[in-house]
Structure 1
């Protein structure tokens, strides 16, 4: 049961990873005026990605220094996801397996 829960968490973190990547790429395309947010589809997609990622970024933006026009918050969140998916979930899975909780 616990292993199944850990797999669900891993899948959710992977989906979140791709949302962050999509939002970052889209922000670059908007910044370089490749796509325009006045397009209905682009505007809606941007709004959805922003609503998903902004609650994750907000606590880190409060403590991160201002780098001008560069936002390193997505990279920080991606690093935390890597840490959660690798060592933390791996340790919890090994712990569950060795203690018969799997």
Structure 2
């Protein structure tokens, strides 16, 4: 593998993994807040929720604009996670092809 492309692909894979975890944590935290399991008046919960919202909302908002309105069901995180998985597989295959 090339000297530059190997580490770049590795960094991109790590970043995609971290972003997927941020999306999952944001979804789980929003469920926990909705079912009153955790309270956002707790400073730590608020900070984690705010970080997840700010990190994921720009992309999720764009995905929501293309998806039909399903009432109270928001499937944009599922679409985003599937896109991340597709992108990771693409990068892995690209790395194998380059090597």
TM-score (structure 1 length as normaliser): 0.89
Q: Give the corresponding residue for 1:89.
A: 91
| Coordinate RMSD, CA, aligned | 1.0
1:46-99 Cα distance to aligned partner (Å, 9 max, x none): 11110001112111111111111111000000000110111x1123212322xx
Runs of 4 or more off by more than 3 Å in structure 1? none
Between the two proteins, the alignment pairs up a number of residues equal to 96
Q: Where in structure 2 are there 5+ consecutive unaligned residues?
A: none
SS at match of 1:90: helix
1:42 CA drift (Å):
1.2
Unaligned runs of 5+ in 1: 98-102
Alignment of 1:1-102 (within 5 A): 1-86=4-89, 88-97=90-99
TM-score between both structures, scaled by the size of structure 2: 0.91
